[in-house]
Structure formats: structure tokens, C-alpha cells
Chains A and B, each alone.
Chain A
Amino acid sequence: MALFARKDRLPIPPKDAEKKTTVCQYCNVGCGYDVYKWPVGKDGGPKPSENALGIDFRKQQVALQGQAIIENMHTVVMDKDGKQYNVLVLPSKASPINRGNYSIRGGTNAQATYAPSKPTRNRLHYPLLRVGDQFQPISWDEAIDIIARVVKGVKDRWGPDSIAMKVHDHGGSGSGFEDNWAVGKFFFVAVGTRMLSIHNRPAYNSEVWGQRERGAHELNYSYEDARLADTIVLWGANSFETASVFYTEHMLPNLQGATIGEKKKIYRRGEPAEAARMIVVDPRRTASVTVAEDVAPGRVLHLRPNLGTDYVLANAIARAIYEKGWHDEEFIKKRTDLNTFEDYKKKSLMLDVPYEEFMRRVERLTGVSKRDIEKAAEWIAKPKRGGYRRRTLIIYEKGVIWGYKNYDTIASIAQIAALTGNYGKPGTGCGRQGGHQEGYVRPHSRSRAKLVGSIYAGGPPPNIDEYVKWDLRSKVYFVSGTDPYLSTPNAQEYKKRIHERTLALTKFLSEYAAAAGEPAGSEERAKRILEGLGKTDGLFLVVINMYQIETARDAHIVLPAAGWGETPQTSINCNSRLLRIYDKFMDPPGDAKPDWWIWGRIATRMKELYEAEGNYKEAKYCSGMDWKDAAEVFEDGASEFPDNRVSKADEAKLPAECYKGVTHDLLRKLGQKGIQTPVRIDPRTGKPVGTKRRYTYKFGTPDGKWKWYGTDPWDPDPKKFYPPQITKYFEHGNEKRFPFWFTNGRTQIFWQTGYHDRYLPEKVYTIPMPYIEMNYRDAERLGIKSGDIVEVYNMEGNCVAVVYVNDSPPPGTVYGIMYRFHESLNHLTTSYTDPKTTIPWYKASRVGIRKLSGKLEHIAKYTSFLPINDFK
């Protein structure tokens, strides 16, 4: 009867089971997990004295207090010793972040591990070389030799900028500090190219320069602040689904009033301590809104701005605060730069425009009423009884990061917090929620290519998607730890061009082989590749990943990377910058290797090739990457951070990730407790100390003061407000052909491109194909029902999706899952990027919708279409 094999018992870990510390490989929250491992057949017993957990398994455990142990948390792995081991990956009750809680994604961490008897056997085992239209396994030595020769050859002949890349940049999953350091050293120092792009994006940039250039890093609060705040603002963040445990373990208790006791301990004497209020700014009625409404009716405010108008709305809330006199005069005077404040007042608050007229324009453009704007202003900033300042925590994420005018939007939101004194105090803060965890450390100080910031800091950075698509000076393209065929904006065109260019090289090599036979070894093969790159429009593509991802189908070489749990790694989470070790507890599949090892080997081979021809200068740039283990890479990375023997106040000057003085061994000792970055070396004790909350004393600018910024002027007429990539949809009959706004986002159910989830039966049933959500009113008009299959299309591309009808998107707007396993609704996003930052605007496009005749019976039968935002 069950749709897939379920279990009704699990093996019990014996007292001597090996225990390791790790952290969930998935989202920004960074829930702690404990791993137990023991040989198959050596189980413990149900009595507390007979098992590693000390639990009495003869009794039913108590809800919430007990340790969660579910079917998905157990697996059997095989190590290189040829033996099978039971593995339990359990949400840690010792972790301050999740306290034993976990989400639908993290609960399957054990299932995502490799096993030859499970679907994860699809993991890459060996390096693969394309020959014609097939992939053939080759040895590491040959694969590395080909890549090193091609990179060197291209660089020598066409210069370092002929080598482009798109690589991982975050924490958790397969990267972390070690891999990010290695890949940085390879491209910044060994290669020295400027043609860099990261993660999902077309360029090498911060998504939040609008806040950083004000003097505050985006990760400045701590999870406790969500428990202590009077008001929590979620701006373009559907935290219930995308920061699940942060929302339910820390925000919900505050909304429920369960943290009032904690508040009383921290607040000033006499300061009112009540259950929190929540403001959600999101065009959709997300689960984050409706769960909060269920918990705290009357204390939730939902603002639904028109797509892309968030910076205007943020400035309007700030203006309302200023108008009512609820801003923090003292904070502004002491902690911020008063010169730039004038600019802010003029351009962002638009004080020259009378208040009523200003609000009329705002209402017209954003669609949000003056009444709601003023209510938001009140909830954020109106002082509490007794004149105490309201403590507001503002958390924003992709809804605005990937909005229109990335720089101005982020700056406007961050400035609300500065205007109201909401930095550096318990219950305050303003920063991003995060998508992934973080683990950024790169050799900026030694980089041979100058990296730029926003347009105000030497930028904007070049758009590498456009570069590899159209500029034939790009010859080699590395894609590592990311799957741009699904995740890059305007993905359909990107795929088409990469395919055409990689195929040009493949054809050249095939024709060569047809005439002269296959090359005799890696040196000759590399020579032919170099010749082909000179004679065709070709592009040499190297993909490094755990799986044969979508992008790999056009690769010339695919290298198998080790994943989570297969090598020790370190990352910080987003809500607290908590640094922990994600320890190794099993071997990688086949001959897969950690990313840092792969980059180190390519660089070291290049070094040998340069030495062989007597070019010791270039050889030197490629040296120092033959690391022995992950701990050594971690410590090598620490050399990039400045001297951190500084006072408490000077934490503001340290990079958010600074971990100098911390080692893998120390992290193993600290376990789930971890240490919050930036880490300082206490000048008195000489010991590393963490930073709970940032910017209590000063900001991260030369004079320690917040730098204000005046945003761009705007026109209340949407036709003049939006960029040409959107307004083209308003003209020439396009408004009729593409009558819907389209926006996109994530689901709680699976992680990112579903590189692991696509092998888990629950996920395959629950999200069987890409989906869109459509409002009841639109669905009725078009005769569309939940479970129907539609084609969504526009001038950028198309995608077929199944429909969920609910009241989440407003009428006239459809929402789609960004990508799902093999397919991508990113086909529909435009190529717009913010001219100030090169950050794309994923979140808005215009589309037409066509219902396909017929249904997919399997989906109709096995997938649930109940409304996911209705909790009543």
C-alpha cells in the first residue's frame, strides 16, 4: 500500500558507536547534526545502558523533548575497507541553533549519502573524458594533465582572461572554507583571470553591496535576536520554507510570547516585554505569512508590493518614520555620518516632496496603501511605553536581493535599520536571511587580477554569462559546484550558446581523429584541443561536481568531487555566523576527490609544466597548492585575514568570516557549540573569542560611522519605472500575449536543483515536475484546475509546469518554482542585471500561459495538490 518501501524498525547504535559532529549540508540555518556510525551487525540494545544515545527505547519518547530518529535518518554505507556500516544522522539537541529540531530537507541528510545499493550510486566515480558523443573514464593523472596543459596553453597564447569560470562560493554542501580557498587561489593567483563568476550568478559580486558599502556586513545578528525582537520584519524572505528551523524554533516562540522571560533578562529595567509582531513584505501570501497569522492573529502585517518596487516602499516606510519623528536621533548623531545623511534625506526620503504628494506617488507605483506603510513604520519604530526604543530585527532575502535595482533596494532596507537605531543591540539587526551557509575566504590580497566592487567601488564586475556566450576570446570555462543550466538567469539562451560553442570544439576533435586517429596520450590531446580553440568558435568546458549534472552534458572533462561527510570541511551559518566542523564520517564514492585536492593538483601540474620550460616566475604563482589535508587548506586560508588581535569594538574592522587562530582540532573540541565569527584573539588572554552580535560600538568603515546613500529617483508610472527588458512586454500587443507577471522562488520540500533530492522517493512524488501557483480568480477565468499541465512562455523561453491553484500569488501574477531537478523556470527570466552590481533580477518577468490538453495520470494520482499556505 505504501508508495515506496517504509521501515518499522531501525538498528540501535551501540555504546561504542563512533560519534562525529556535523551540520546540515543544506540551508542557511545550519542546524547541528550528530553522526553515529557502527559496523552492521554490531547493534546496541534498547536499555539506556546498552546504546550510544542513553535512551530507553523500551518506552515511547516524549514529543519535542525526545530525540528525533526517523526512517530517513538511517542508512548503510560502505567504506574503502570494504565493510558496511550503519549511519544515523540525527538533529543535535546540543546545537543552540536547532535544539533537536530539523526540517524536511535536513531530515534526509543520511539518505543523500552515497551507497552502491541506493539511487545515490549515480554519483560520479571517476574522471570522465568526452570522446565524440561519449564519456570515457580516465585516470586522474591524465585528466589533470590535459586540463593543466590546456589552461597553460590558452593562458600563454591568449592571456589569462581567456579562462572563465563559474564556481561555488558558499558553505555547507560541497564547499566551505577549504574548497573556496583552493578555488580562489587557483583562479586569482595561478591563473590570474578577471573572468570570474560565482554560484548561480553571471558575475563575481556580493549580492548586498548596498548594505556592505554602508559599513555593515549582511550577517550581523544572532539567532537570539529573533527571540528578543519586538518586531520581526521578513522582507522578500519566505523563512518558513527557506530558513525553516530558524522560523519555527526561534521566530515562532517569540510570536507566541514564549520568549518573554528571556526578554526580561536582557531588556532594560522597566522596558515593556511582549510577544513579538511580524511584518512580511512579499507579493505572495506565503506560508510565512499564514503560519504567523495562525500563531499571532492581529500581530501580523502583510505588505504586497508590485514586483520590483521594494526600494520605493522601503524609502516610503523610512519617510513615514521620519515624518512621525520615530527615528533614533541619538543613534544617527553618534553612529552615522551626518554629511551623507543630507543626501539620504533628499534622495531617499525625498523631503522636498510634500508628504501627502509623496505618499500618493508611492501608492500608485507600489500598490501598497499609505495606511499600511504607516502601520509598518509604527511597528518598526514607534517607541514603546515609557519611551523605550522598539527592538526590530529586519531580515531580507532573495525577494529583494534578486529584485529590480539590487543595490538601491538593499541599501534602502538596510537604512531603515540605521534610521531607527536597530544595529548592535539585543533583539535588533538587519541583514540577509541567507540561502546557503557561508564559507568565503579567497586570496584577495594576492590576486593577480583586480576584483571590483559595485559601481561606487571600481565596478561593476563583468557579466561572464554574456562573455562566454558571445565573446570568442573566452576559450576555457570551468563550472564547479553549480548547475547553471538550471540556475543561471535567462537559462535557455545560455544553454543554447554553451552547447553550440562546446560542440564546435568537439566536432573539430572528432574530425581530427577521423583523419589522423585518436591522440596518443594527454599531451597530444591537449595540443589538438588548443589547435581547435584557435581554429573554431569552440569553448573547452570542464565540469567538477558530485553528479553528472545538467551542465555536464556539454562538458569535455567531468571530474568527480567528494561531498558532505566525505571530507572534513568548515562553514558558518547565516543567522549567527556560527563556525563548526562538518566532519568526515565516510569515504567518497569510487575515486572522487575533495575540490581542494582537484584545484591543488591542476595548479601543481601547471607548476611542473612551467618549471620544465624554465618559466620560474609563472611556476611560483602555481606553487603552494599541494596541500596534504583539509586542515592544512583551512589554515592556509587563515593567512588571508588581517591581524585579529584587536579589541571587542574593533570586531567591526574584521571580515565577517575571520577565523584566524581557529583550527580543525579546536572545532572538533568545540563540537556543536562552535565559535561565532569574526573570531578575535583576545589581547589579554591570547585566546580566540567569537562575536555574538556585530556593530555594537562602531561600523566597518574607516571612521566607524554608517555611510548613508541617496537612492535613484523613480517615476510613479510603471511604464517609465521598469527597465526595457520588462517594458518591451507592455508594447506591440505583447501586453495581450503575455498578460501575467511571473515571479519565482523555492519550496520547503527540496534543496536547490535537487541534485540529491531527485533520488529520494518522497520528493519525486511530491514535486513530480516544475510547478506554478495561480490565484483562484485567474484559474477560474482560464478554466485551469490544480493538477492541470500548462506551458508558461514568453520572449525569453518556455517551460511546462503543473498547476497549484491557491490564494498565494495575487491575481494577475503567477509564481513558479525556480527550478526542479532537470527542468528550469529560469528560462523565463530576462537578462536584466543591475548596472550597479551585475546582480540579475530573477524575480520578475511577463508570461503567457497555455493549458495543455490531457493530464499526466501518474501525477494526478500520487501528488498532493492541497493548498500549501492554508493552515486553518
Chain B
Amino acid sequence: MLKAGLSRRTFIGGSVVLGALLTNFRFAKAFVAPSLPYRRKKIANIRELRTHRPIMFNYPDENSPAILVKIGRPAIGGIGPDKDIVAFSALCTHQGCPIQYSRGRFICKCHYSMFDPAKNGQTYQGHASEWLPQIRLRLDRKGNIYAEAIEGLVWGRVINLLPK
């Protein structure tokens, strides 16, 4: 149901409360992610994926680690036949430590924030004010999985594509 490429507005339309919260968020719109010219990057082929076996990759550049994982339950923004393949920035949004995928969720052992990969990287416990930035994925006919854009600010940057 939640295809990548579906516009945010259509999607949010489902949530009356938050739809109302956003309509007047004028300035936010200016920087609403993805607002930058992200490049598409191939991460893996769907045949290589095993449930709960994360694949590390870097996106949008080599200094920004990310995790691709098949979580075995349908996820918001998930792709594949089971809608359970998701990717996130692997830097904790709290103070930038690397997060680990363990038993179906992400955990950061620096100050014990936990994020739910099925729920848009929601911080369901811990200090991290910001949910984990989710990476938009695309699946092609051959089963190749591509990262297309990142929704949310990667920790340690003020702009996801580092300026020169």
C-alpha cells in the first residue's frame, strides 16, 4: 500500500490529526526532506536479504553509515513482497553513536535509545528526540534495491549533502 514515490501529502492525508498539524507549517516546507538532489545508489539484491540480517552501506556519502534490513513484519515505507524491507541512517539521532539492529529493533548503547524500524524509526524509548531518518528505497524488476533519498537530518550535519 505504501509505495515509495507516493507523495507525502497523499499519505499524510490518512492522519487527520497530523494532517492538520502540518498544513500551516510554512517554513518547514522549505526544507521538507527530501529537499536535496540525492543520487540513487544500489544497495543489494532482494535475494541476498535474510530476515534479521542487516546489511551495512553508506548513504548519501561514505561518511554516513546506513542499515538495510528485512524485519519480518510489515513496515511503514517497507518494500518487497512483504513490505518489510527498510533502511535507516545508522547514526543515532541523539549524539551520533552507531546504532545496532538487534531482535527486530534498533538500539544505541551510548544512552540506550531504541527505535522501531516498522514505525518510521520511531523513538519508543530513550533520549533521542528525533526519529531515525528513514531512507527511501526502490525495488526494480530484477530485485535490485536502491536508496533514493533520506528523510530526516543525518546526525552531525546541518545539511545531508555536505557542502564543499
Contact = CB atoms under 8 A, between A and B. Distances in A.
Interface string A87-128: 000000000000011111111100000000111010000000
A862 B15 contact: yes
Nearest to A60: B63
Nearest to B123: A104
A764 interface: yes
A835 B134 CA distance: 54
Given A100-B95, A759-B21, A761-B18, A71 B27 contact: no
A394 B11 CA distance: 50
A766 B124 contact: yes
A359 to B, nearest CB: 36
A12 B162 CA distance: 13
A2 B33 contact: yes
Given A6-B33, A69-B158, A70-B129, A58 B64 contact: no
Interface in A230-283: 240, 244-245, 248, 252
B29 A5 contact: yes
Interface in A1-19: 1-12
A353 interface: no
Contact of A1 (B11, B64, B105, B112): B11
A516 interface: no
Contacts of B126: 104, 748
Interface in B1-30: 2, 4, 6, 8, 11-12, 15, 17-18, 21-22, 24-29
Contact of B150 (A8, A68, A248, A764): A8
Contacts of B120: 1-3, 862
Contacts of B63: 59-60
Given A4-B12, A72-B129, A9 B36 contact: yes
Contacts of A103: 127, 129
Contacts of A761: 18, 21-22
Interface in A358-410: none
B119 interface: yes
B130 A107 contact: yes
Contact of A63 (B26, B36, B91, B127): B91
Interface stretch (A164-172, A825-833, A863-871): A863-871
B156 A107 contact: no
A748 B125 CA distance: 7
Contact of A7 (B24, B32, B114): B32
A8 B35 contact: yes
Contacts of B112: 240, 248, 287, 291, 294, 871
Contacts of B25: 5, 117-118
Given A66-B156, A868-B124, A102 B4 contact: no
A762 B28 contact: no
B70 interface: no
Given A60-B157, A64-B110, A107-B129, A8 B31 contact: yes
Contacts of B153: 6-10, 70-71
Contacts of B102: 872
Interface in B117-164: 118-120, 122-131, 133-134, 136, 150-160, 162-164
B130 A872 contact: no
A4 B22 contact: yes
A872 B29 CA distance: 38
A104 B97 contact: no
Among B4, B91, B159, which residue has the most Cβ atoms of chain A within 10 A?
Answer: B159
A245 B127 contact: yes
A617 interface: no
A858 B15 contact: yes
A4 B21 contact: yes
Interface string A32-67: 000000000000001000000000011111111010
A69 B153 CA distance: 9
Given A63-B110, A291-B112, A866-B105, A6 B24 contact: no
A3 B127 contact: no
Interface string A743-759: 00000110000000001
A294 B17 CA distance: 38
Nearest to B64: A60
Contacts of A5: 8, 22, 25, 28-29, 32-33
A356 B108 CA distance: 46
Given A66-B156, A287-B125, 15 more contacts: A6-B151, A8-B33, A9-B153, A12-B158, A68-B155, A84-B27, A104-B113, A104-B128, A105-B129, A107-B127, A252-B111, A291-B112, A759-B21, A762-B130, A872-B103
24 contacts: A6-B131, A8-B31, A8-B150, A9-B31, A57-B158, A60-B162, A62-B96, A63-B95, A63-B155, A66-B95, A102-B127, A103-B127, A106-B129, A248-B127, A761-B18, A761-B22, A762-B122, A762-B129, A765-B122, A862-B15, A864-B122, A866-B116, A871-B112, A871-B114
Interface of B: 2, 4, 6, 8, 11-12, 15, 17-18, 21-22, 24-29, 31-36, 63-64, 76-77, 91-98, 102-105, 107, 109-114, 116, 118-120, 122-131, 133-134, 136, 150-160, 162-164
Q: What are the 10 A-B residue pairs with the smallest beta carbon separation, nearest first?
A: A107-B129, A63-B96, A61-B156, A8-B33, A864-B116, A864-B124, A9-B159, A1-B77, A6-B152, A60-B63
